[in-house]
Chains A and B, each alone.
Chain A
Amino acid sequence: MKLGGYANRVARVDLSSGEIAYEEINEEDARLYIGARGLGVKYLFDNGPTVESDSPDNMLAFMNGPLTGSQATMSGRLAVVTKSPLTQTITDSHIGGWSAARLRWSGFDGLLFVGKSDKPVYAYVEDGTVELRPADDLWGEGVHSTVEKLRDRYGSPLSVMTIGQAGENGVRFASIINEDDRAAGRGGTGAVAGFKNLKAVVIKAEEAMPRPQDREKWRTAHQRALKTILDSEVLAPRTGGLSIYGTNVLMNPVNALGGVGVRNSQETQYDAAEKISGETVRETLLSSDPTCHACPVACKIEVEIKDGPYAGLKMESLEYEPAWALGANCDNDDPRVIAKLIDQCNDYGMDAIELGNVISMYMEATQREYVTGAGLGWGDTEGMVETAEQIALRSGIGDQLAEGTTRGADKFGHPEIAMAVKGQAVPAYDPRALKGEALGYATSNRGACHLRGYTPASEVLGIPVKTDPLAWEGKGELLKIFQDLHAFSDSLDLCKFSAFSEGAEEYAAQYEALVGQPITADEVMTVGERVYNLERHYNNLCGFDGSDDSLPERYLTETGSGPASESVVELDEMKAEYYAARGWEDGVVPNSKLRALEIIS
């Protein structure tokens, strides 16, 4: 392959036979889909969209982009792509830290796992080779002790991406954790690894950044991108809101909009929001603010608990999403308990957003007396910690809740209390208060998700242009632009937060200089659109259509609180506008569109 930047090497690992084949990257695919999310989805698509998520045929892809591990700011990311056991759609979940960079430095753009090992194994990656090694002694261990054992065994510089007990036990929202506390959180990638008996991917590599094809251009492109970050009022190291407070800087502003769901979205404004906000956490619990490869922003929030039942716990990262899901959403206003629960998620390997929602669903079932037995009351923090453990170990009620929010509520006979779309639970922006997010959740290709198209940038912060969060008109076009832009940055793979300060031009310039392939800002948006449509096409072939682009009834019929007190979601109107912007027919990509985007010929 002529394109620069890439390692041009992918390992295809058949866990059933133990065979490992090394491949080059198809140049045409690399041009069309770039890498990471885009190329990962293409590999999954070529593997057949109709494979069952829990069959050996399902593929689990760890994919870097051409910028991963380079000098590019915020480039320490990879995408884990698979068919989700939670949603049965395509899913991709990204991790930061250093594992992605080390995977690139070890000589790989990606690792593709198929098949199923008959015994627990881990993949050991070094110097352009992959070996499967027995993991019997690691099976049953949590993430923290697995990482520790592997560090003792191999020394540094080492990265470990591993599952905990949740993945082993087939918890449908199990995640893969990278270096103790950075999660490929959503979509149940950890359950797929667990099903395959793949405990971990271990990478040993010294820094070896890929060289740009055009050094002169690279200097300019890199400097400009970096300068936008350093001058960003959101990102700037030690002065930007995200750098100082982490993502939880959003708790108060979103609450002011009436967008913080309380008690399983029965209300949308939390009177104790301040107590769990980024501001309070910084004042009372913060111990340090770690970062990822090549990132001066350092948005991670490491905390140390000094008192109460979890005194002594040191963990990262106390983010907005889990602070909402495990806090306001469950009427838990104690940030120390939130920290404990996040750490449980990191150690068992579970998605904190789904955990918060499955627990709040269980709490509402208790409130409405749908459960036999004592159930779990609002704000019962000890009970939450216990329930989290039961879920990871699939013991007691945990076995039912380990199936996820939608399936868990079905078993209570009350699907209406599941705040989920396509089987995946909602994130921390109540759809009644942010209409762009409402549409984003409904139409996301991986189930409810705030990261496909992050409209709060516009609806909360006014970046780049302020839109009225309660208005639905225009959100279809807005969401499409956000989704396409993110699909591109996810394919490079740069941290999502880069988009607060960088746009299509900055991405184009960096890609062009590093890869040596000309690309315009318009083409960046077209690639993003192509990736988004390939995902949608994959889902269409699995049987998904417009009827699956839905929202829980609650958001359509029950109003919220505060500024959202008269608001419900105008879903049909928004979907019509969005499909028109996308050129889809009732949620299905027509062949003409697939051809125009070069997805099919």
Chain B
Amino acid sequence: MVEVKFYATLRELIDGNKSVSVEGAVTVSGLLENLIERYPNLQGGIFDEDGNIRSFVAVMVNGRDIRHLEGIDTALQGGDTLDIFPPVAGGSQSESMATSVSIRGLPEWLIREYFVELGGAVPDKTQPLNQIVSDRWSVTWSQQKVKIKGSSGMGLTQFDIVIEGTHESPQQIMELFMKKAQRGGG
């Protein structure tokens, strides 16, 4: 099973849902076909008249843009996550734009600290723990436990982070966040 997350205006095209699960798709193109069967409105939201993915729609598989993979022929495996972002419409400053990443290896408190260091407001007790807001962007995340394939002994928590920009490019905040979140190992 593959989970597909939609952002901003695209959510309207899937009955207001945030994400959809799809069974049995082995490539991105098969998955999109399956989705359009279920939500015909998506056709125009994702594809142009020639049947190509619209130029500013970003389809990410496990956080990587399919333009850097094999396009719509990119293969999918059970457990993959897709993110589909709409084009940034109209150039209006307040139009929300979003970008996402899935992070492992960092504890939640550190993710929170990093976003506060990037200008987010220190969360007060009334706010949910998975959210940091600034007057220029906001970020939320969900978490899931992922098993490391083949290993009986190891699982890691993955944080699926979505940054939405209100007055600032979310990609820019993401870039700064990723510099902080970079890890290695040995």
Query: Which A residues contact B (CB, under 8 angstroms)?
Result: 227-228, 231-234, 241, 244-245, 249, 252-257, 278-279, 450-451, 453-454, 456-457, 460-468, 471, 473-474, 481-482, 485-486, 489, 495-497, 499-505, 521-522, 525
Which residues of B131-186 have CB atoms within 8 Å of chain A's CB atoms? 146, 148-158, 178-186
- Nearest to A490 among chain B residues (CB) is B186
Given that A252-B151, A253-B148, A471-B69 are known contacts, is A463 also in contact with B180, CB under 8 Å in the complex? Answer: no
Instruction: Give chain B residues whose Cβ lies under 8 Å from the Cβ of A255.
Output: 150
Contact A456 B185 (CB under 8 A): yes
The residue from B62, B150, B156, B180 contacting A521, defined by CB atoms under 8 A apart: B180
User: Can you report 7 residue pairs joining A to B where beta carbons are below 8 Å apart?
Assistant: A252-B150, A257-B150, A461-B154, A466-B63, A486-B184, A495-B186, A501-B106
Known: A234-B105, A481-B182. 16 other contacts (CB 8 A): A228-B107, A233-B154, A234-B185, A241-B153, A241-B154, A252-B150, A253-B154, A461-B104, A464-B103, A467-B62, A468-B62, A473-B69, A499-B184, A501-B183, A503-B181, A522-B179
Q: Is B38 an interface residue (CB 8 A)?
A: no
- Nearest to B68 among chain A residues (CB) is A473
Instruction: Give chain B residues whose Cβ lies under 8 Å from the Cβ of A234.
Output: 105, 154, 156, 185
Q: Is B35 an interface residue (CB 8 A)?
A: no
Shortest Cβ distance from residue B169 to the other chain A in the assembled complex, whole angstroms:
19
Shortest Cβ distance from residue B149 to the other chain A in the assembled complex, whole angstroms:
5
Q: Is B101 an interface residue (CB 8 A)?
A: yes
- Nearest to B155 among chain A residues (CB) is A233
Contact A474 B185 (CB under 8 A): no
Which residues of B46-68 have CB atoms within 8 Å of chain A's CB atoms? 62-64, 68
Given that A253-B148, A279-B152 are known contacts, is A232 also in contact with B182, CB under 8 Å in the complex? Answer: no
Q: Is B29 an interface residue (CB 8 A)?
A: no
Contact B153 A244 (CB under 8 A): yes
Q: Helix, strand, loop or mixed for chain A's interface?
A: helix
CA distance A233 to B151 in the complex (A): 14
The residue from A244, A453, A462 contacting B158, defined by CB atoms under 8 A apart: A462
Instruction: Give chain A residues whose Cβ lies under 8 Å from the Cβ of B179.
Output: 504, 521-522, 525
Q: Is B102 an interface residue (CB 8 A)?
A: yes
CA distance A152 to B139 in the complex (A): 61
Instruction: Give chain A residues whose Cβ lies under 8 Å from the Cβ of B150.
Output: 252-257
Instruction: Give chain B residues whose Cβ lies under 8 Å from the Cβ of A456.
Output: 185
Contact A486 B186 (CB under 8 A): yes
Contact B69 A496 (CB under 8 A): no
CA distance A313 to B146 in the complex (A): 38
Instruction: Give chain A residues whose Cβ lies under 8 Å from the Cβ of B103.
Output: 464-465
The residue from B114, B157, B181, B183 contacting A500, defined by CB atoms under 8 A apart: B183
CA distance A253 to B156 in the complex (A): 13
Contact B157 A233 (CB under 8 A): yes
Instruction: Give chain B residues whose Cβ lies under 8 Å from the Cβ of A500.
Output: 105, 183-186
CA distance A496 to B183 in the complex (A): 11
Instruction: Give chain A residues whose Cβ lies under 8 Å from the Cβ of B183.
Output: 457, 463-464, 485, 499-503
Q: Is B121 an interface residue (CB 8 A)?
A: no
Contact B158 A496 (CB under 8 A): no
Closest 4 CB pairs of A and B: A496-B186, A256-B150, A499-B184, A463-B105
Shortest Cβ distance from residue A476 to the other chain B in the assembled complex, whole angstroms:
12
Given that A228-B107, A465-B101 are known contacts, is A249 also in contact with B153, CB under 8 Å in the complex? Answer: yes
Instruction: Give chain A residues whose Cβ lies under 8 Å from the Cβ of B101.
Output: 465
Given that A473-B68, A489-B184 are known contacts, is A466 also in contact with B102, CB under 8 Å in the complex? Answer: yes
Instruction: Give chain A residues whose Cβ lies under 8 Å from the Cβ of B105.
Output: 232-234, 457, 461-464, 500-501
CA distance A486 to B185 in the complex (A): 8
Given that A228-B107, A464-B105, A474-B64 are known contacts, is A257 also in contact with B182, CB under 8 Å in the complex? Answer: no
